[in-house]
Chains A and B, each alone.
Chain A
Amino acid sequence: MVKEIERAGITVAHMCTVVPISMTVGANRIVPTVAIPYPLGDPSLPPEDEKDLRRKLVRKALNALCTEVEEQTVF
């Protein structure tokens, strides 16, 4: 899906836990996440801290979207 969206000219940040899979599928901007069942959270944290973690990860993705890349890049 990442490639097809990018083929349409839309920049994608792929947020995922298993980075090698993302490399294989051909994502260009890869943002590693927390765990497979909760990429953008951590149930062991208090709710406010968990949301803070999510905010940080999303900001990282926004930064990736605003960064020029020549090849597949892990942020």
Chain B
Amino acid sequence: MAKIVHYINQFFAGLGGEEKAAHPPEKRDGFVGPGMALSMALEGTAEVVGTVICGDGYFNENLEEASAKVLEMIKSYAPDIVVVGPGFNAGRYGMACGMVAKLVDENLHVPVVGGLYEENPGLEIYKRHGYFVPTGDSAATMRKAVPDMVAIIKKLLAGEAVTVGFFEKGLRQNYFAEKRGSRRAVDMLLKKIAGEEFITEYPMPVFDRVTPPPAVKDMKTARIALVSSGGPVPKGNPDRIESSSASKYGTYSLKDITDFTPENGETAHGGYDPVYANLDLDRVLPVDVIKEMVTAGEIGSLHEYWYSTVGNGTSVANSVAFAKDFALRLKEDNVSCVILTST
């Protein structure tokens, strides 16, 4: 029977949430957590022989070491296919799944099957290294994700071509077309001239990039503002910004704050261990040193408000809307530069 190794994080292994995100890599024989559903759906065509588990924080903060260990553990089972996640819209988990896919693809040369939400940052970077099926943005869609992944695994095991059901890898594949290239190109051109719909065979990539704005000429006269996606808010989270999938951002005055303490600030973010930020929010939004630098004349002046949201699973559309909104206020106040912190 074909052998599958499954990579999952600390949460899906049942070890715990954020408090266990620093868990180093470990391997266990057989399936763990979502591997059970995977195993059942494979109905004896393949077996989950081992599970490799690593905390999301550990993986992303110790990339080299974690990569080496995880690869070694996966290799020890000599898998035919490696399954990662699904990671849904969890940023760090998606990055880890993608990184594992890359490691396996480049070093073990066996196919990788996973599942990610379309906005997961891990997808954009690593999609060429595995068959990632589209999932919903949370684990609530696991029931749909597993059969989708299994469908691809079964095709791979049967030696069939896998052409649909996953995010395009962006790799070229040779095939025999009925009509030769010149004919297809002329057909497309004729359709275009006739104002009809045509489908290009070579879509141009869309790069949404902003040209870097000019450097600040003199920091001693510049007006700076602080923005964060790490969820820094006044104690009590007065606007009730959601701990994930935020629907709003907050605007808070820095007038009376020169230093964060456990009494005046906390984080609303639900995607990382909040203990350190709640004790001293300067660790997320460096108000203490910025205010000192303004007083010392190192920085010209500070915009009175900080803008904060929670970047945990928050949609790109919402983030764009938030920033467009407060960017207007920054412009009105002649702010020339921003320090934006992310967790």
Contact = CB atoms under 8 A, between A and B. Distances in A.
Nearest to B267: A37
B343 A36 contact: yes
Contacts of A5: 227, 323, 327, 330, 338, 340
B283 A40 contact: yes
Contacts of A14: 340, 342
A8 B328 contact: yes
A15 B341 contact: yes
Interface in A35-75: 35-41, 43, 51, 54-55, 57-58, 61-62, 65-71
Nearest to B322: A1
Contacts of B18: 37
Interface in B47-65: 57, 60-61
Contacts of B216: 11, 65-66
Contacts of B215: 11, 65-69
A57 B273 CA distance: 22
A8 B279 CA distance: 34
A10 B338 contact: yes
Interface residues of A, number: 50
Interface string A1-32: 11111111111111111101110111111000
B286 interface: yes
Interface in B316-341: 319-320, 322-324, 327-328, 330-331, 335-341
Given A6-B210, A17-B60, A40 B282 contact: yes
Contacts of B275: 37
A26 B207 CA distance: 9
Contact of A18 (B95, B208, B219): B95
A33 B330 CA distance: 25
B6 interface: no
A35 B343 CA distance: 8
A61 B21 CA distance: 28
24 contacts: A2-B340, A4-B323, A7-B210, A8-B327, A10-B338, A15-B341, A17-B61, A18-B60, A18-B91, A20-B121, A21-B91, A25-B121, A26-B209, A26-B210, A37-B276, A39-B341, A40-B284, A43-B283, A54-B286, A54-B289, A58-B339, A62-B299, A65-B219, A70-B212
Interface of B: 18, 21, 57, 60-61, 91-92, 95, 121, 124-125, 208-210, 212-217, 219, 222, 224, 227, 229-230, 272-277, 279-280, 282-286, 288-290, 292-293, 298-299, 309, 319-320, 322-324, 327-328, 330-331, 335-343
